[in-house]
Amino acid sequence: MTESSHQPSQGGRFEPPYDGHADHLETPIEPIEPVEVQVEDDRTGMTVVTLKRAFADNLYYLLAKDEYWATPHDYYMALAYTVRDRLLHRWINTSRTYIDKDVKTVYYLSAEFLMGRQLDNNLLNLGLYERARQALHESGLDINDLKVLESEPGLGNGGLGRLAACFLDSLATLEIPAVGYGIRYEFGIFDQWIQDGAQVEHPDKWLRFGNPWEVRRSELTVEVKFGGYTEAYSDGQGRYRVRWIPDRKILGTPYDTPVSGYNNNTVNTLRLWRAGASEEFDFQVFDSGDYAGAVTNKIFSENISKVLYPNDNTSQGRQLRLEQQYFFVSCSLRDIINSHQRIHRTFDRFYDKVAIQLNDTHPSIGVAELMRLLVDEYELGWNRAWYITRRVFAYTNHTLLSEALERWPVSLFEHLLPRHLEIIYEINRHFLDEVRAKYPGDEARVGRLSIIEEGAQKYVRMAHLACVGSHSINGVAALHTDLLKADVLRDFYELWPEKFNNKTNGVTPRRWLLLSNPHLSELITEKIGNDWVTQLDQFKQLEAFVDDAEFCSRFSSIKRKNKQSLAEYILLYNDIEVNPDSLFDIQVKRIHEYKRQLLNVLYIITLYNRIKKDPNVDILPRTFIFAGKSAPGYYIAKLVIQLINSVAKVVNNDPDVRDRIKVVFLANFSVSLGQRVYPAADLSEQISTAGKEASGTGNMKFAMNGALTIGTLDGANIEIRQEVGPENFFLFGLTTQEVYALKARGYNPRDYYHSNAELRQTIDAIASGYFSPDNRDLFKPIVESLLDRDEYMLFADYQAYIDCQQEVSRAYRDAKHWTRMSILNVARTGKFSSDRTIKEYCQEIWNVQPVKIDLKEYQPHTAGLQVKVQAKRPVL
């Protein structure tokens, strides 16, 4: 505790307390009014002096260290616990308020949550950053040295997981009651190492030093069943029932992470499930001498939450993926029901209190699982259970690629989830009756809509299950939603047009501008105030400064500093010296053929060929920067990474190039690395084949930080171009309709190869082994794929891309005009805040309202517990 005591006089001499006798004073003094003692709790106090003491106490009492023994990581942990204490105060109050007010809550189910580092974000949201910095400085420490020690949980593979994290941030900032549900992957996505130019996967050991932000809730552990068989029976009232007899059971234990809102008292929950064995150790087996067998059940059970997205090129990998999906969905639905039943005895108001959002198809098994729980375990009638299920679920589709519209073999369901297969068949029977009633005689349509795909091997179509079992189906960009209606889910749209809506994605400006680009944030705040942090549409006010010479100069200077910072990182980790005055041309995203990193490489080789032909050719200096991970089993994508690094090795070391081109691949791309990269970009590469990218969010982060976009009319690029203005966007390539039409006519990539000399020279250089002298056939699969199929039409867009890059070069040479375009990109990105997206979900899908959380000030006389005997108390 801190409380006032007698202070030195103004002259520095300590004055004794007045004893009531004034004989020795020349002038009698007035009686001293009693001073109110100000007390701060060490766990919740926000002043520098309290933070210093709390930090020291956590180091001493939680980590059992003092400054003699403490490591830098110990200091980080002590700081994290100090910040977490302040979150706990708000977290408990938030949970209690939600229960007391019996609010409707959003439950966001996602296989991925790519949260990023939490220390910075929580300090920012609590308004503690400067005070924490000062407290550490006075303790002899630098906050910047501690921030980088935080292990970053790789619980996602890219845009899907990062979007989920942005949504949780916005939900808390907008004071919306919400819980995120996912899996606590022990290793998450792999650490990416580059060895001899190739991606090599290593375990992501993010938990090796512990995680100070999570709280284990063992008392909320639930049981999940797998395998076995079902049997029918009649209950006491003679009603038909089904009992599932599993052959194995697994326990799901929740680990909760607080999710703080910006500049408010709301702290929501991210609840991640860890898998464990119901019986971890078989003593009898151990006693018989089979020591490995004694822990077999533990090993197999824990595998479920071991790794994010196991390789599904094998039948075992596919089974593990389905096990993961069912595991976290079953745990989450049981938890939702348990929470509901602490307040409500029936399911009469379940859909008035619960909104469940399926983030892509991974959690869509939830439709069948909720039906199983309601019908089998809570004994609701089928029709009532189905009415409830369709009222609570909403489905977000995130893809136009067939591979992400998951299908599971019926045989796998029979083996793993026999009761769910029965339920899916029954859902499908009722659904197809509805289809036949509306479209009599149209059996082709019935086959297209069916949840079960018929054929030599039958499959369960998970996207279809999600569509049938949800009251809302949304895409994540205007074009994406239009393509869902016109193509991917056309039959469902014709059946239920009222279900379909668009919710264009967004990103949180707290992490992607305020944290990532503090200097630009300060400049913006100086000019338009700080309300933009939660009202990003206020960015429009920046347009008034687009011709302000002083503002433009400072804006350019900040960009230059950010580029210099990234250049220093590249020198440190890649041992490549790059010129911060060159154009930073950046493509960072998951490595996939449709994202066309390979088209970017073809342009680099084209420039290189021009230099080799004429070493004095006038080429704008550029630094090409790539980053991203390929799925471990995605052979071609991994080969693209190797090609990028092989081209870099040749180009960066060729004296003819004279540093006009540099190529860099940043290993192990992550949220924290993204925070360094996005503010430094001059040019944002968003060059996917039109009609393949659902939305993209990296494009928004780049534009928000002042990068100009070169891109196709794909995903959210279309809306970015509409917002920033066509004149501030570099557009090239076929449209979606042109892609479809060209393929329908019979696309032959060899026609482009033979008719375009620069393209032919570029492909021949790769095919000849020029960039792989030790293995001249190394990149042969890439060349054959392009010449024989070119699935994503790189050759068709090649010349348009080359010409557009020439426009980029011309524009960049006019620094004043480029800065103007850059400022306008920032000023016109207000639409792309995830706050706007979440408001639309709340109003148009979830029907939920904000709930204000009030904190009572700490009072010493009310400290401590005051336990009363009462009815069953809700568990937070």
Structure tokens given for 120: 């910075």
Q: Strand pairing of 222-226 and 248-260?
A: antiparallel
Q: Concatenated DSSP letters for 717-785? A: HHHHHHHH-GGGSEE-S--HHHHHHHHHH---HHHHHHH-HHHHHHHHHHHTTTT-TT-TTTTHHHHHH
Handedness of CA 354, 355, 360, 366 (dihedral sign): positive
Decide: 313 and 633 in contact? Cβ < 8 Å: yes
Residue type, 707: A
Residue 299: strand, helix, or coil: helix
Catalytically annotated residue among 353, 563, 590, 692: 590
β-partners of residue 627 are 588, 666
Structure tokens given for 424: 């899916």
Q: Strand pairing of 500-502 and 583-588?
A: unpaired
Catalytically annotated residue among 353, 398, 563, 692: 398
Structure tokens given for 593: 């053929």
Around Cβ 39, how many Cβ atoms within 10 Å?
A: 16
Q: H/E/C letters for each residue in 806-850?
A: HHHHHHHHCHHHHHHHHHHHHHCCHHHEHHHHHHHHHHHHHCCCC
Catalytically annotated residue among 589, 660, 662, 692: 589
Structure tokens given for 830: 């207000």
Query: Helices (H) and strands (E) in the chain — how many of each?
Result: 33, 23
Q: Which helix (H) or strand (E) holds 198?
A: strand 198-202
Catalytic residue check, 398: yes
β-partners of residue 109 are 181, 358
Catalytically annotated residue among 52, 90, 554, 595: 595
Catalytically annotated residue among 274, 701, 721, 828: 701
Distances (CA, A) of 674 to 90, 358, 419, 747: 29, 26, 44, 37
Q: Tokens 């090993």, residue? A: 299
Catalytically annotated residue among 606, 697, 712, 819: 697
Nearest to 444 by CA among 497, 499, 496, 491: 491
Decide: 642 and 603 in contact? Cβ < 8 Å: no
Q: Concatenated DSSP letters for 503-536? A: ----B-HIIIIIIT-HHHHHHHHHHH-SGGGT-G
What is d(CA 296, CA 305) in angstroms, rounded to the nearest whole number? 16
Instruction: Tell the burial category of 693 from Cβ atoms under 10 Å away from its Cβ (0-12, 13-18, 19+).
Output: buried
Catalytic residue check, 701: yes
Instruction: Tell the burial category of 20 from Cβ atoms under 10 Å away from its Cβ (0-12, 13-18, 19+).
Output: exposed
Q: Which helix (H) or strand (E) holds 612?
A: helix 597-613
Q: Which helix (H) or strand (E) holds 565?
A: helix 549-574
Residue 105: strand, helix, or coil: strand
Catalytic positions: 398, 589-590, 595, 697, 701
